[in-house]
A and B are shown apart, each in its own frame.
Chain A
Amino acid sequence: DAGVIQSPRHEVTEMGQEVTLRCKPISGHNSLFWYRQTMMRGLELLIYFNNNVPIDDSGMPEDRFSAKMPNASFSTLKIQPSEPRDSAVYFCASRSLDTQYFGPGTRLTVL
């Protein structure tokens, strides 16, 4: 099993640009989670999906953030426009039974 796949692994962009992060969950997992990790705030849940449907997006910081899951094997997290304070590591995780499995993360730097 390839595990959760995220791309890109690193992204450097300028303030105001659109950023799209991608995630491929483990096959057969029906829940997907997006997290953000920063030194100041630790690990924060942004949004999660069950069976491709967004269940809880209360952690999405503001309207600049959006997430989609068009099918069971793909999800995106988009930031538009990006700001320097969005710089963080973004993790995707998929869940089987009681356990979440994390991807390697995307390190986003907004200049």
Chain B
Amino acid sequence: AQSVTQLGSHVSVSEGALVLLRCNYSSSVPPYLFWYVQYPNQGLQLLLKYTSAATLVKGINGFEAEFKKSETSFHLTKPSAHMSDAAEYFCAVSEGRGGGNKLTFGTGTQLKVEL
């Protein structure tokens, strides 16, 4: 069975500060990992994904994440926060194509960006 744990349901940063959103996963097979962003009253938008290629993955809007197998982590970072980054962020895991790409989501982290 696969699972995702997102530490911190709410994270607050100042504009221009580093953003770090934490995600740890559990999977019985090599995982595929995803970060999605959800703005208010909208659907989920893919930020980036790891599918067993490069361990450092770059996504849209300046976000990136690093797959660390030894730590079973896939933390999301952005060097400098912008007001427009305020949203809810979801980490998700699937057990690769063999798992039918069923996604298991974390509980989400609400990011607040302050002036």
Contact = CB atoms under 8 A, between A and B. Distances in A.
Interface in A38-83: 42-43, 45, 48, 50, 55-56
Interface string B34-50: 10100001111110010
B43 A42 contact: no
B51 interface: yes
A33 B105 CA distance: 14
A103 B43 contact: yes
Contacts of A100: 46, 101, 103
A56 to B, nearest CB: 7
Contacts, number: 47
Interface string A93-109: 10100111111110100
Contacts of A4: 43
Given A43-B105, A45-B103, A50-B100, A99 B49 contact: yes
Given A91-B43, A104-B42, A105-B43, A42 B105 contact: yes
B68 interface: no
A42 B32 contact: no
Contact of B49 (A45, A91, A98): A98
Interface string B92-115: 001001001111111110000000
Interface of B: 32, 34, 36, 41-46, 49, 51, 90, 94, 97, 100-108
Interface of A: 4, 31, 33, 42-43, 45, 48, 50, 55-56, 91, 93, 95, 98-105, 107
Given A43-B105, A99-B46, 6 more contacts: A4-B43, A42-B107, A45-B104, A55-B100, A56-B100, A91-B43
